[in-house]
Structure 1
Amino acid sequence: MDQTEQRVETGSVVSINIEKETQQNANVPPPDVGYAWVIFTAGALAIFTVFGSFNAFGLFQAYYLNIMFPTTSAQSISWIGTLTTTLTLGLGAIYGPLDWFWQVSAIKYGNLHYLKAYYSVLETR
């Protein structure tokens, strides 16, 4: 068995030429590692943004308690942070797999929702 390996699988003899397989594998170009780093960086930035807003809610809560809603209890204001965290992480787990099937639609609808939220904030001023 110098360059050929023989195996018995379910009563039949299978012959594999090892030298030919290694030559074919040597001609395969390496995977595109640059794109993988772009995806990794974008995911890291998204996670930094999400968890940064969760951690910064303490500042928002103090602002809401002292300036915007001074007569409201802290327990009522804390529901804002709880609801934000729950919707962001919970709906992300539900709608994340939709990105596998409807990528363009998810991007379009996501952009529309962000624009709607942005302009609704501008209208309140």
Structure 2
Amino acid sequence: MSSLNQPSAERATQHEKTLEEPATSYTSSTTSITYGTTTNLESNIPVQDASSDDDIKPEADVDELPPDGGWNAWLQALMAHLVIINTWGTINSFGIFQTFYRGYLSRAASDISWIGSMQVFFLFVVGVFTGRLTDAGYFRVVFAVGSALVVIGSLTASFATEYWQLFLSQGVCVGLGMGGLFCPVMAVLSTYFKQRRNLAIGIAISGSATGGMVYPIMARQLLPKLGFGWTMRTMALVQFVTLLVANIFMRARLRPRRAGPLIEISAFKERPYLLFTIGMFFNFWGVYFAFY
């Protein structure tokens, strides 16, 4: 009986294992299916990683696309023309003062030339700092201060009777004001154009010819009739009106760039730019002999 019962017991045990195996297999396959389904579903869900953020153009980049035309852009070119009238146009007009001051001040031509030379010097040197301030978002402040210095310098020069007074007012004060106008205005104007940038800058720079004609004609006509004081005050009034209009309508377009060095030293690692800078440095050594 024990031998007969033993196979029966073994068969019962095997039968129980057989019943358990499908359940185990089913559970395992279910787990596999569950994991597989989860994996497939997750793979079908678009996941935005950090690297994909670079493919999406931020709003600032969209704003940086220049309009390259339109009423507002060409208005900026016209306003820049008015500004250049009162910077390079004034510098181009200094020849008539050079002749007048020799008799008015009884000074040598080499002494008088320092007045006009200081205007050019400060126009470029101050531009190193005002250009960076413009990038940082202070264009309105820099532009307003520069305009005020130009007008104040010309106005105070009208009361000058000594050489040092003209040197400080017409040379230093006006020169500092020009440094707050020229570089920032040209930088802002360039952001409005791409394909037509050369034309826009040409319109602006032609203000040097406009000022070079208007101010000498004014001085030549007014000096004999009104005298030096009122001639300078009349020119200061013209500067005030034109620069006021430019302050009202000229606007920086790009968002401020607070971070960054004062001077991009890395730019000089580019050979074309470095050679261009060196060439322009020596070029300007000889340009202004004709002026002074």
TM-score range, shorter chain: 0.5 to 0.7
Distance 1:78 1:122 in 2: 18
Distance 1:119 1:52, change over 3 A: closer
Indicate the residue corresponding to 1:109 in structure 2: 145
Distance 1:114 1:69, change over 3 A: closer
Which letter does structure 1 place at the counterpart of 2:142? Answer: A
Distance 1:44 1:115 in 2: 17
Distance 1:115 1:50 in 2: 11
Q: CA deviation at 1:69?
A: 1.1
Q: How many residues align?
A: 93
Distance 1:102 1:86, change over 3 A: same
1:25-104 superposed matches below 5 A: 31=67, 33-66=70-103, 68-70=104-106, 72-100=107-135, 101-104=137-140
Distance 1:42 1:52, change over 3 A: same
Q: CA deviation at 1:38?
A: 0.7
Distance 1:89 1:61 in 2: 21
**TM-score computed with the length of structure 2 as normaliser:** 0.28
Larger helix percent? 2
Indicate the residue corresponding to 1:3 in structure 2: none
Structure 1 or 2, whichever has the larger Rg, is: 2
Which letter does structure 1 place at the counterpart of 2:126? Answer: L
Query: What SS class does the counterpart of residue 97 from structure 1 fall into?
Result: helix
Q: Gapped runs of 5+ residues in structure 1?
A: 1-30
| Paired-residue identity, % | 24
Q: Residues 31-60 of structure 1, C-alpha deviation per residue, up to 9 Å, x if partnerless?
A: 571111011111122223322211211100
Distance 1:115 1:52 in 2: 14
Distance 1:41 1:85, change over 3 A: same
Indicate the residue corresponding to 2:266 in structure 1: none
What is the CA RMSD across the aligned residues, in angstroms? 2.7
Distance 1:58 1:112 in 2: 24
Distance 2:81 2:147 in 1: 20
Q: Residues 77-104 of structure 1, C-alpha deviation per residue, up to 9 Å, x if partnerless?
A: 1111111111123323431331232134
Distance 1:105 1:120 in 2: 22
Distance 2:101 2:127 in 1: 26
Distance 1:102 1:108 in 2: 10
Q: CA deviation at 1:123?
A: 5.9
Which letter does structure 1 place at the counterpart of 2:132? Answer: P
Distance 1:84 1:99, change over 3 A: same
Distance 1:58 1:118, change over 3 A: closer
Q: Which has the higher contact order (CA 8 A, sep 6+)?
A: 2
